[in-house]
């Protein structure tokens, strides 16, 4: 995370201040048939809760998996309908895409795809949404990264109140399947709990 990005956007949520051993795992870009099911099964096994930033069109494709996320006590957030890059679209189109997503995703949480959002868009969204960024990127979306390196990223950078990004997508699956179970085991053993973002 470049330091200047946080300086530029101090109003966004980058981590959650806490003295307790709590980690906030987040999963972007689902629901996806195999990846999301895999994530839900492993979270359940560790009694962990998480937050899923869903793409509207994927919710439309897999409503039953979306329902399962909700039924198993996790939080959901809006990640636009078409996974738009805020830097590349005007505010009107960006907002209308988020509105379309809000028809299928009931949430006051929003995460901009690619972490790219203009100040003007932040300003429009802020009254209605808590914009959730992250403090730890697993890099699971990076096909050039080894599964072990992905796990190392998470273990090295995660601390109390960290917001960690994974992806429940086909592209991330190889690294996710390796790094997520090991992340849960490693931090559970150290007394951490995993909670969903609820504000
Ligand atoms: Zn995304």
- Residue 28 appears among annotated catalytic residues: yes
Q: In this predicted structure, what is the pLDDT of residue 5?
A: 65
CA of 167 to the centre of ligand 1 (A): 8
Is the per-residue pLDDT at 197 higher than 70? yes
Cβ–Cβ < 8 Å for 13, 152: no
- Show the 3-state SS of 45-70: HCCCCCEEEECHHHHHHCHHHHHHHH
Is the per-residue pLDDT at 7 higher than 70? no
CA of 29 to the centre of ligand 1 (A): 5
- Which of these is catalytic: 62, 79, 167, 168? 167
What is the average pLDDT across 122-133?
94
Residue among 24, 64, 67, 17 nearest 43 (CA): 24
Cβ–Cβ < 8 Å for 22, 16: yes
pLDDT per residue as tens digits for the range 86-106: 999 999 999 999 999 999 999
CA–CA dist 74, 76 (Å, integer): 7
Whether a cis peptide bond, with omega within 30° of 0, leads into 36 is: no
* Lowest mean pLDDT segment, chosen from 74-83, 96-105, 114-123: 114-123
Helices marked H in the chain — which ranges? Answer: 3-8, 33-45, 56-61, 63-71, 91-102, 119-125, 147-157, 173-189
Sign (positive or negative) of CA dihedral 10, 13, 18, 21 = negative
When pLDDT is cut at 50, 70 and 90, the band that residue 196 belongs to is very high
State the average pLDDT for the chain: 95
What is the average pLDDT across 127-153?
95
CA of 88 to the centre of ligand 1 (A): 15
% residues pLDDT > 90 (the chain) = 91
Q: In this predicted structure, what is the pLDDT of residue 199?
A: 72
DSSP 8-state symbol, 76: E
When pLDDT is cut at 50, 70 and 90, the band that residue 11 belongs to is confident
Look up the pTM and report it: 0.95
- Which of these is catalytic: 19, 28, 29, 79? 28
* Tally of CA atoms within 13 A in the half-sphere of 107 that contains its CB: 30
When pLDDT is cut at 50, 70 and 90, the band that residue 2 belongs to is low
CATH code for residues 3-194: 3.20.20.370
Cβ–Cβ < 8 Å for 72, 14: no
- Residue 79 appears among annotated catalytic residues: no
Cβ–Cβ < 8 Å for 81, 55: yes
Domain limits, the chain: 3-194
Buried b (16+ CB within 10 A) or exposed e, 177-198: bbbbeebbeebeeeebebbbbe
Q: Tokens standing for 4?
A: 């200047």
What is the average pLDDT across 154-171?
97
When pLDDT is cut at 50, 70 and 90, the band that residue 6 belongs to is low
Q: In this predicted structure, what is the pLDDT of residue 4?
A: 64
Q: Which residue has the higher pLDDT, 9 or 140?
A: 140
């Amino acid at each position: 995370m470049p330091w200047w990005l946080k300086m530029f956007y101090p109003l966004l949520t980058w981590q959650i201040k806490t003295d307790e051993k709590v980690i906030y795992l987040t999963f972007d870009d689902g629901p996806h048939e195999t990846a999301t099911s895999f994530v839900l099964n492993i979270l359940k096994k560790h009694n962990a809760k998480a937050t899923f930033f869903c793409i509207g069109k994927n919710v439309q494709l897999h409503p039953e998996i979306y329902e399962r996320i909700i039924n198993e006590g996790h939080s959901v957030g809006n990640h636009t309908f078409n996974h738009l890059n805020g830097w590349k679209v005007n505010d009107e189109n960006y907002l209308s895409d988020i509105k379309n997503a809000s028809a299928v995703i009931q949430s006051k949480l929003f995460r901009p795809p690619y972490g790219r959002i203009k100040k003007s868009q932040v300003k429009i969204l802020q009254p209605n949404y808590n914009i959730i960024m992250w403090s730890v990127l697993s890099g699971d979306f990076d096909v050039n990264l080894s599964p072990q390196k992905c796990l190392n990223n998470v273990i090295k950078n995660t601390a109390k109140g960290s917001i960690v990004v994974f992806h429940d997508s086909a592209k991330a699956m190889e690294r996710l399947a390796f790094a997520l179970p090991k992340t849960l085991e490693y931090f559970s053993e150290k007394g951490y709990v995993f909670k969903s973002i609820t504000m």
